[in-house]
Structures are given as structure tokens and as C-alpha cells.
Structure 1
Amino acid sequence: MGKHSTGEPNGPAAGHATTTAREHSTEVREAAHEGTSRPDGAARPAGPPPDGLRRRPTPVHTPTEPAPDTIASARGLTKVYGAGDTQVRALDGVDVDLARGELTAVMGPSGSGKSTLMHCLAGLDSPTAGSVVVDGVEISRMNQRQLTKLRRTRIGFVFQAYNLVPTLTAAENIRLPLDIARRPVDHERFDAVVRAVGLQDRLHHRPSELSGGQQQRVACARALIAEPSVVFADEPTGNLDSRSAAEVLSFLRRSVDDLGHSVVMVTHEPMAAAYAHRVLFLADGRLEAQLLAPDEAAVLDALGELSVARERRRATEPA
């Protein structure tokens, strides 16, 4: 999964890329300011503040104990790969709380630790040190059997590559987590989720008969069908065109706003991050800043500011 991630450019090229992206997003900013909708018809969840001031990234102040509305949290989260000269510190003592009932985006350059953070929070990888709590349960010291049960009952996943079973229909793929857990299908919920992703007329089609956007919407429905405590999405729009990406992102946002779910999404795309309630920025395994109620232009500016700060910090560090 991590190998599919694309990092933000650094150094002089980053300044040019950010400037170009800003120019390209002028129309997006103007449309958001006027309150226009996204291409798929969904209202933008955020836009520039009424006073015209751009939102700026702010430090993340994490309390000692998670707040009552926290769905997932980490304290002192550290992940080290390798040893000696080949050692890589993917996470360097991260403290973070993820709010229940929100869509949180995680961004950062390649190698920043964003996918590692998600994997540790989701129980897909074990931390070297620190603690992880999901829905009130500490998972960082669970064995593989306990983690497997947790992932079946409390955690949903959406991946860049869809990960659908090619021999199953869309309906069968959606029901798959319930079938594996030997849980009965709540037909009322199944119908509600299918309607939410707009797949009523595609349920009997296999993945090869669906577009990329439709396949990813099947994956989203599969992640939500078992009513998980939290859904983790790793670059969910990385393989999609802009319109299909907007459909998937709109659904993820609606699943939070209308269905009360909690979603954590790793992405490198400012457009995708603009659908979130909050964006967290990682660099060099550390949590650098956050951006609340983001719009695309504010995310681009934040990436530029943080890239410059990162380069300055690296220049002053001992070799």
C-alpha cells in the first residue's frame, strides 16, 4: 500500500510546483468563494472564510489523555524499521487524537510516515514503542488473533487498489466482511449503504464489468456495511479520474455527515484533503501541523509553507 504513495516535491522544484498548482486552483478558489458545488453536485464542505483570510496551518496540541469524542488515538507512537546504518525511523513519537464523527485527512511528502501511521492505527502494523487506542480499546499490544477479530468487527478499510474479489458480484463483495465474520446481513442497512453509493443497478455486476469509480464505491460500501467504529482509507482516489474521485470523496464525506461514521484518509491530493474536516501534516515521522475546515487553496499553501520549514530545519541539522 505504501508503495503506491506519491510524495510532494521538495527543494526548488517544490516552489515551482506549488506556484503552478496555486495558479491552477484560482478557479477552484473563486468557485468555492461563490458557493458553487463540486462536479458531482455535492456541496463543498468547506471554503474560504467570509472575511477572505486564508486559513493557516496551526500546531497540534495533544492533551495527555484523549478527549471523550476521540475515536482513535496514539501516544508516543514510534515505528523503526531495520537496524544500524540501515535503520529508518518511520514514526518518531507521534501524539495524535482523531475525532469521532469526522473525516480526517493525513498528508505529507513521500517517506513522511503517513501510511505507517495509518497502518499502526488500523492494527495492520505493530509499533516499536508507544500506544494505540481505537474506540476505547488499546490495540498496540494485541496479538494477531485479537487484531484479526478487531479488524473484522470495528475497523473498515478502503485501499487504492480496490481489493475486490473478481469472481464475486458487487453485492457479494459488499457483504463479504459479514460473511467472513459469520454475521447476518441487515438488509435495511445494506439497502441504505447501496443507495448512498448509487450502486442499485450494478449489484449483479462483477468488478471487471464496473468502472474504476464504481469499483471504489463498492469498496467503500464494503468498508461500511459492518458498521465499523472507524474507516481507514489509504489513497482511495489514487487510481481514479477527477469525476470518479469526486464521487468517492463525496460519499466518504456524506458517510460522516449523514451516517455518523468516522473516516481517516491518507492522501497526497489537496483536492481530496479539501473534503476533510481536518488535515494533519506529517514530515520525517513527526506531526508538524493541522489545518481545520480546509479548502484546496489553503491546503496547497500549507504544503508550501511546511516544505520550506522542513528544508530549513534539515539545513540546520548536523550531518
Structure 2
Amino acid sequence: MSAIEFLSVDKQFLDGDTTIEALKSTDFSVEKGQFVAVIGPSGSGKSTFLTLAGGLQTPTNGEIKINNEAFSKENEKIRAKIRFSEIGFILQASNLVPFLTVEKQLRLVDKVKNEQTNVDKINKLLTELGIEKLKNKYPDEISGGERQRAAIARALYNDPSIILADEPTASLDSDRAFEVVKILARETKEKNKATIMVTHDQRLLDFCDEVFVMQDGVLEKQK
């Protein structure tokens, strides 16, 4: 079963009297346990594709399904609920809350859900990602690679079925970039998640099961 599926999805914007086709009609799917990369030049439509996948925008035409259920055609309240429970976002800037420690970044997820914190789950996740000793540190006290691992921990804490990573290694050196992508690949396989990573870094593609190329709003599988 597809974790996320695009059915004849396109996205158009009006620029004055001109219609911009940011994403042309696209059929796409990714299965659980599959790690997919999307590459392409700046302005090609990659960010539009990812924000559509995460429900941050809605398609002009077509439909997006999450775990074979309606997603893009639901109202914003329902989409937000699905987004929170099923999708983990990892962004280029780790987007950690600067005044919260690494551990409290994850506790914040429970506060938003109004649920009791699972301390054992937090400790297990931080240990798996090799940052258990940093749990009382603030973002400005740890390295870029460590911040990105903390962001991955926060994205995974909810146990989402889908991970959307937008240039997650752009600000990292080569060693840390490979480290982060290895973690994403491992989490995808071991925990049966569907991961889509937008990246400019061709060196990371060996870790992916499939690579798609975005060019002028057209998404095609790399041959």
C-alpha cells in the first residue's frame, strides 16, 4: 500500500495575468520502507512538490492520498490532524526552539497533543541517534550535525508513517551529511516509514531506493 500517492496532481499560481505551472500533472507514489530522493535545479518545483506532499498547500487539480485515505480534499482542520500524526518534517534549518533543551524539543510534541511524556521513548530515540548525552543542551550549545539529529528525533517521536526532508544536509559538512542520511535510511527501513528527501547533493543518492528528477514542474524517475 502506498504511504503517499499523487493522482494527476498539479499546482498553478497566478502572476498578474500569467498562470505559472509550478507542478505539472504528476502521478507519484512511495511505499512504506522506501527512501526516495527528489533532485533538480532551484526553481524547478521541488519545494512545491514537498509542500503539497505535506499538506501545506492543496493541489489546483488532482488528489493526494495518505495511507490510501483522502488527504488533500479534506478541510484544513482534518489535514492538520493527519499532518501532525502521520508526517514528520525535517527542514534545512533544524528549526529547533532556541530556548528549549534537546529533550524538551520532544516533550513539546506531547504538550501540543496534551499527552503525558513517554520518557523511555525519548531516551531510546536519543540513544538510537547518538545524542542521548546532549538531552540537557540547548541548540546553540551543540553542532550543526547534532542539531539536525535532534530535529530528526523530534520528527520521529510521533512515529509518523511519512518523513519529508527538505535539503536536510545543506548546511552540513560531508561527514555529517552522510551521517544524517544514513540515519534517515536506517529509520526508513527498520521502522517501515516512507521517506522523501529533496536534495542538491548527488553524493547522497546511493542511500536512496529511487531517485526522481524535477525539471520545470515535471517530475520523472531517473533512468
* Normalised-by-shorter TM-score class: over 0.9
Q: After superposition, where does 1:207-286 map in structure 2 within 5 Å? A: 207-286=139-218
Task: Quote the residue 1:150 is aligned against.
Answer: 82
Task: Quote the residue 1:131 is aligned against.
Answer: 63
- Look up the SS of the partner of 2:165 in the other structure: strand
Task: Quote the residue 2:102 is aligned against.
Answer: 170
- The one-character-per-residue Cα deviations of 1:86-141 (angstroms, maximum 9, x if unpaired) are 32101110000111111111111222211111110110111111100011221111
Task: Quote the residue 1:204 is aligned against.
Answer: 136
Partners of 1:271 and 1:240 in 2: how far apart? 13
Task: Quote the residue 1:41 is aligned against.
Answer: none
Residue identity matched to 1:183: E
- Look up the SS of the partner of 2:132 in the other structure: coil
Partners of 2:34 and 2:72 in 1: how far apart? 23
Unaligned runs of 5+ in 2: none
Partners of 1:183 and 1:273 in 2: how far apart? 38
- Look up the SS of the partner of 1:142 in the other structure: coil
- The one-character-per-residue Cα deviations of 1:25-72 (angstroms, maximum 9, x if unpaired) are xxxxxxxxxxxxxxxxxxxxxxxxxxxxxxxxxxxxxxxxxxx2x110
Task: Quote the residue 1:93 is aligned against.
Answer: 25
- The one-character-per-residue Cα deviations of 1:231-250 (angstroms, maximum 9, x if unpaired) are 10000001111111111111
**How far is 1:85 from its partner?**
4.3
Q: After superposition, where does 1:18-167 map in structure 2 within 5 Å? A: 68=1, 70-83=2-15, 85-167=17-99
Partners of 1:238 and 1:271 in 2: how far apart? 12
Preserved CA contact (<8 Å) 1:174 1:219: no
Aligned length: 223
CA RMSD of aligned residues (A): 1.4
Residue identity matched to 1:203: K
Residue identity matched to 1:188: D
Partners of 1:107 and 1:133 in 2: how far apart? 22
> Hey, which of these two has a bigger chunk of strand by percent?
2
Preserved CA contact (<8 Å) 2:103 2:122: no
User: Which residue of the other structure, out of 288, 291, 304, is the alignment partner of 2:220?
Assistant: 288
Task: Quote the residue 1:316 is aligned against.
Answer: none
Preserved CA contact (<8 Å) 1:157 1:233: yes
After TM superposition, the score normalised by the length of structure 2 is 0.94
Preserved CA contact (<8 Å) 1:216 1:236: yes
Quote the sequence identity (%): 35
**How far is 1:160 from its partner?**
0.3
Moved more, 78-87 or 281-290: 78-87
- Look up the SS of the partner of 2:28 in the other structure: strand
Q: After superposition, where does 1:9-20 map in structure 2 within 5 Å? A: none
**How far is 1:283 from its partner?**
1.3
Preserved CA contact (<8 Å) 2:210 2:221: no
Partners of 1:260 and 1:186 in 2: how far apart? 21
Preserved CA contact (<8 Å) 1:78 1:89: yes
User: Which residue of the other structure, out of 116, 119, 126, is the alignment partner of 1:184?
Assistant: 116
- Look up the SS of the partner of 1:204 in the other structure: coil
Partners of 1:193 and 1:280 in 2: how far apart? 30
Partners of 2:67 and 2:115 in 1: how far apart? 21
Partners of 1:255 and 1:268 in 2: how far apart? 21
List, as ranges, runs of 4+ consecutive aligned residues in structure 1 with deviation greater than 6 Å: none
Preserved CA contact (<8 Å) 1:235 1:266: yes
**How far is 1:277 from its partner?**
1.1
